[in-house]
Structure 1
Amino acid sequence: MQIPNADYLERTGSKNLGARLWRLPPASANTLHRHLCAEEFYFVLEGTGRMRVGTQTLTVPRYGGVLVGPDQLRQVFNDTREDVLWLIIGAPEELELLPTAATRPDLSKIYPVDPTQLPDELEGVQWPPSTSSHSS
């Protein structure tokens, strides 16, 4: 049985800690982002993880982990042929800490560049995949 993506923060109601399972299929990535105050711990449960932290590209073996500090750009991606299952542990969203959070948060603090930007290893991949349907 495959474990789907899940956000356990919502299920527990925790205000200080979150845990997510992310299954990344081949040729996919999450958003390039950073956090203002929170550290995140990325742990590979299945497959071989690939991620960029700042200007470094890392390969994380199964049962290996990486701690990413606040204000560091990070993005997990999958340029392998197998699914990769990540356990990501960190703090909840920090939108309340952003300037003008009461009205419209300045998301450029978390997404300083295009969040859909893919790492060089996924050049030519369209992510997220197009949702347009083709009729015959």
Structure 2
Amino acid sequence: MMKNISLQHLMTACLALACSAWPLAGGAQGLADPTRPPTHLIDPARGGMAQGEVSSNPLQSIIRSGKTRKALVNGEWVRTGDKVGTAVVDGIGDAEVVLKQEDGSKETLKLYPDVEISKSKTKQRAAQSTKPAGAKQ
């Protein structure tokens, strides 16, 4: 009877040891880190930026908090009215910053320059259905 109990304890201990060592053996390597940026954004071999490389897009981020908007341009946080080089921040949108140059011309910096943002078809239909019956579409 005593022999069966110690054999059972030994088998349980071996099973627990094997299960706890599984992640160390590489079983967890197949799991992706959900907080890691996509590889193509950080791996230069796949078209990403190398460490220390500066982006060609000066607009890096936009933060909205209530009515306050800030934009990270060339590593500096700016608000409407602040200077960026020789230009003045004329406005900060959801995904763009408008700069007014000294000569009066305007330049738009886009957060996602390669992305065309448009309303979804559902929102377009909802906007059309709220128009008065006599309004042209």
User: TM-score w.r.t. structure 2 length?
Assistant: 0.22
Greater C-alpha Rg: 2
User: Which protein, 1 or 2, shows the higher relative CO under an 8 Å CA cutoff with sep ≥ 6?
Assistant: 1
Structure with greater proportional strand content: 1
User: TM-score w.r.t. structure 1 length?
Assistant: 0.22
